[in-house]
Structure 1
Amino acid sequence: MAKPQKPQTRRSIATNRRARHEYEVLDELECGIVLVGSEVKSLRAGHASIAEAFGRIKDGELWLCGATIAEYPNANIFNHVPVHDRKLLVHRGELEKWHKRVKERGVTVVPLELYFQGSRVKCLMALCRGKKLYDKRRSERDKEDKRSMDRAMNRRR
């Protein structure tokens, strides 16, 4: 008899909190990421930053550029380089759709989150368009209006 499967847990490692403020998210895609052993151990310790990272499509592949995964202190002299381009694993059809959209003016690929799903590391990438200053102000005003409405509803209870 087969073993019952455990539910997949999702444990966040790093999030790009500025991305949703700076960009309008058009589409999201969950990607696998190619790593070496010391990078995975460093990620398990939570030593990663994707705040200044971005995605790039080159030679028919999706790459995560500028992400920092700190060196693992217990690794030997063959430790990984903290900042280098890492290949992302995506279905070919999804990548072709995204490649067409990235060719549009003002559309870019940005990482939103790096997380463990079970024992695998996944990266949530987003297809984004930069917000103008007035868009940021409008979204901030909408958030404030929603908060005040929630407060008013809670007072009525």
Structure 2
Amino acid sequence: MAGGKSKGLGSEPGVKIIAENRRARFDYTVDEKVEAGLELTGSEVKALRDGTASLADAYALPKGAELFLLNAHIGSYKAASVFDHLPTRGRKVLMHRAEIDRWTAKVRERGYSIIPLVLYFKKGRAKVELGLCRGKTHDDRRQDIKERETKRELDRAMRRR
């Protein structure tokens, strides 16, 4: 699509993006992605509907046969008062067991990390898009910047014609 946004989650019907982890694509190379559910409390869902979430330092870790999302900040919901949640508590990720086992093996053996990329509502349910990522080196970042600048120059040249 020339000049427009690429198709992503925001263009799907029934999807409302709450938070994006833009820094993740700069710091990591994303090899695989998967959509997963989250086990949330009522006050967390209400806070997400208000849009008070951040994935800045979040990551997922396998514990036993389960996967937990850690350091994801979901702000407090004022109307919950006494029944409010802790903003950065660990939240269980809902995925198929085989997929959790496969990703856990890659994390333990090959030095991958599981990073949340996008937090969104899909048909009224809170979902997280997780990426199986490998950290970028300084040279990888330089190469990405060089490719981006080259593409930008080509686009400009094509528009001048």
TM-score bucket of the superposed structures, by smaller chain: over 0.9
1:21 aligns with 2:26: yes
Runs of 4+ in 1 over 6 A off after TM superposition: none
Aligned counterpart, 2:72: 67
Aligned mates of 1:58, 1:8 — CA distance in 2: 34
Q: Map 1:27-42 to 2 at 5 A.
A: 27-42=32-47
1:110 aligns with 2:115: yes
Aligned mates of 1:88, 1:8 — CA distance in 2: 23
Q: Map 1:1-157 to 2 at 5 A.
A: 8-156=13-161
Deviation of 1:105 (Å): 3.7
Deviations 1:8-62 (A, max 9, x none): 4111100100000000111111100000111001000100011111110111111
Deviation of 1:106 (Å): 2.5
User: Rg: which structure is higher?
Assistant: 1
Aligned mates of 2:15, 2:27 — CA distance in 1: 25
Deviation of 1:83 (Å): 1.0
Unaligned runs of 5+ in 1: 1-6
Unaligned runs of 5+ in 2: 1-11
The CA RMSD over aligned residues, in Å, is: 1.1
TM-score normalised according to structure 1 size: 0.92
TM-score normalised according to structure 2 size: 0.90
Aligned counterpart, 1:4: none
Counterpart residue identity of residue 21, structure 1:
F
Aligned mates of 1:55, 1:18 — CA distance in 2: 16
Identity across matched positions, percent: 46
Q: SS at the partner of 2:86?
A: coil
